Amino acid sequence: MIEVKNITKTYGKKDNVFRVLNDVNFTIPDGASVAILGKSGSGKSTLMHVMSGLDRPDKGQVVIDGQDILSMNQKDIDKFRSTAMSFIFQSFFVQANESCYDNVSLPLEIANVPTKKRRSKIEAALKAVELIDKKKSRARELSGGQKQRLAVARAIVNQPKILFADEPTGNLDSVTGGVVEDLLFDYNKRNKVTLIVVTHDEDLANRCDIQIRIKDGEIESVKGKK
């Protein structure tokens, strides 16, 4: 369970203070799929960064399974992120010069997974996104859709508990975007992994269990399917 409590985040100083997030509160049950919706600049990405401990808010708590990750020290928060979370970004951020295999290997190396155990995990992840035949290809040779599938493989390889995706289909056409969406929801359903998707896309949002709408840094509405 993820509990977001009284999160406030500001930028700037004194006369020029800008509230990106203003007293945000909500709760996400384990294994849910959640869409965070809102206009550009409304604070969606910032919220995602705060929830994952990448960014520190001015006030508030992010409690994951009973533990406030914002009160952890940097070392523990890094460890938590390397073992329990992963990310997919709008612009992929795959390493163009590295092979697909090495791209997917990165989170395992960061999480100190022993070398022997890596191969099977990497190959399973590449199979899941149907890129196993591109194992040795450099990432720069892939198409946009393939790159994002590679990013998905990298995100799922270490079996995280929470998967954050910031506009995962924003740079893809609707067909390839659909493939990536299917991969994410499939993974979410099958492994009971919490999926948090930041998106503009209403259709994508409607496939999620919960829709959280943000406007000017404040929660506009939280809707669940049930």
Ligand X SMILES: Nc1ncnc2c1ncn2[C@@H]1O[C@H](COP(=O)(O)OP(=O)(O)OP(=O)(O)O)[C@@H](O)[C@H]1O
Cβ contact 80:25 at 8 Å: no
40 binds ligand X (CB under 6 A): yes
Q: In what order do the strands lie in the sheet with 67-68?
A: 18-28, 2-11, 59-64, 67-68
What residues are paired with 26 via a beta bridge?
4
- Rounded distance between C-alpha atoms, residue 66 and residue 50, angstroms: 17
Positive/negative CA dihedral, 57, 151, 204, 223: negative
Is residue 74 near other proteins by the rule CB under 8 A?
yes
Please enumerate in sequence order all residues whose Cβ is within 8 A of that of 145, keeping only pairs 6 or more positions apart, or say none.
172, 173, 176, 177, 179, 180
Count, in order, helices (H) and strands (E) of the chain: 7, 10
Based on its alpha-carbon atoms, the radius of gyration of the chain, rounded to whole angstroms, reads: 18
148 binds, among other proteins, ligand X, Mg ion, none (CB under 5 to 8 A by kind): none
Closer CB to Mg ion, 45 or 148, in the complex:
45
The answer to the question of residue 45 lying near Mg ion (CB under 5 A) is: yes
Contact of residue 83 among Mg ion, ligand X, other proteins, none (CB under 5-8 Å per partner type)? other proteins
Contact between residue 58 and residue 126 where contact means Cβ atoms under 8 Å apart: no
Minimum CB distance to ligand X, residue 56 (Å): 12
Name residues contacting Mg ion, limited to 161-200 (CB under 5 A): none
For residue 208, the minimal CB distance to ligand X (Å) is 17
Amino acid identity, position 118: R
Contact pattern from residue 41 through residue 80 relative to ligand X, giving x for each residue in contact according to CB under 6 A and a dash for the rest: xxxxxx----------------------------------
- In the bound state with ligand X, the residue whose beta carbon lies nearer, of 20 and 180, is 20
**Among ligand X, Mg ion, other proteins, none, what does residue 19 contact (CB within 5–8 Å per kind)?**
none
Task: Classify residue 143 by burial, with Cβ atoms within 10 Å: 0-12, 13-18, 19+.
Answer: exposed
Residues forming the site for Mg ion (CB under 5 A): 45
Residues forming the site for other proteins (CB under 8 A): 49, 52, 54-55, 74-75, 78-83, 85-87, 89, 91, 93, 95, 97-98, 102, 106-107, 109-112
Residues forming the site for ligand X (CB under 6 A): 11, 20, 38, 40-46
